[in-house]
Amino acid sequence: MEISANLYGDKEMDSETKGKSPSQSSVESRYLVMPSQANPYGTAFGGAIMAWIDMVASMSAQRHCGKETVTAGMDSLSFIEPIRIGDQVVLKACVNYAGTTSMEVGVQVSREDPTTGSSSIVTSAHLTFVALNKNKKPAAVPPVIPVTEEEKHRYASAKTRVMVRKELRRKNV
Ligand SMILES: CC(C)(COP(=O)(O)OP(=O)(O)OC[C@H]1O[C@@H](n2cnc3c(N)ncnc32)[C@H](O)[C@@H]1OP(=O)(O)O)[C@@H](O)C(=O)NCCC(=O)NCCS
């Protein structure tokens, strides 16, 4: 189905319809875990990490579409190992797939202990962002053009997840 940008009242879309690669939307952020972000046992609050994930994913979605975006949803999240006070948390995000007005952003989160140099992946997340036009209505986004084999694999997996999410919402599950 060919989507007209005008359907969304979004004239600026014309110059952006060619699409962007995931590397053009990639964002990397690093945070130091402070006591204010931890529980009484010295490990990070999951909610603090989730806020950082939302922040970095949002910046990636904005880099892709060049518009205001809102978080529509985040898939389930599992923490594989604890993150401690003093650890550095590294978040890497990029847009895996774009639909008509929505984008799936993947975020990988790892922790680094600066005293030992050890690092490990602690979680990963998939979030959906929707671009908005000036009237705060969903606006068309450029397609994602995967370049590397890894990007092509992530694109195909994301496309499947988008279909599954739509079906679950349709069934109200
Ligand atoms: C996200 C939002 C803009 C969608 O608006 P809507 O009128 O339902 O829009 P539509 O039904 O036309 O869906 C627009 C796109 O979003 C996708 N979408 C909508 N709800 C979704 C959800 N819960 N999860 C994943 N994708 C979703 C649709 O599949 C569609 O994608 P496509 O255009 O790529 O095919 C609206 O629900 C909203 O404003 N939510 C609040 C967002 C917010 O404030 N977030 C911060 C959290 S406090």
pLDDT of residue 104 exceeding 50, the answer is yes
- According to the model, what pLDDT value does residue 16 have? 57
The architecture CATH gives domain 22-172:
Roll (3.10)
For ligand 1, is residue 99 a contact (CB within 6 Å)? yes
Average pLDDT over residues 60-89: 97
- According to the model, what pLDDT value does residue 7 have? 46
Cα 138 to middle of ligand 1, angstroms: 8
Task: Please give the share of the chain, as a percent, with pLDDT higher than 90.
Answer: 89
For ligand 1, is residue 50 a contact (CB within 6 Å)? no
Q: Six-digit token pair at 62?
A: 């904005």
pLDDT of residue 140 exceeding 60, the answer is yes
Q: How far is CA 72 from CA 54, 104, 106, in A?
A: 11, 10, 14
Question: What dihedral do alpha carbons 117, 123, 126, 129 form, nearest 10°?
Answer: -60
For ligand 1, is residue 69 a contact (CB within 6 Å)? no
Quote the CA–CA distance of 67 and 124 in Å, as a whole number: 25
- The pLDDT tens digits of the residues spanning 16-68 come to 568 999 999 999 999 999 999 999 999 999 999 999 999 999 999 999 999 99
- Among protein residues, the one with the nearest Cα to ligand 1's atom 28 is 102
Confidence of residue 137 (pLDDT cuts 50, 70, 90): very high
Average pLDDT over residues 155-172: 97
Atom number, ligand 1, closest to the C-alpha of residue 99: 34
- Among protein residues, the one with the nearest Cα to ligand 1's atom 31 is 102
pLDDT of residue 130 exceeding 80, the answer is yes
- Among protein residues, the one with the nearest Cα to ligand 1's atom 40 is 72
- According to the model, what pLDDT value does residue 90 have? 98
Mean pLDDT of the chain: 92
Task: Please give the share of the chain, as a percent, with pLDDT higher than 70.
Answer: 90
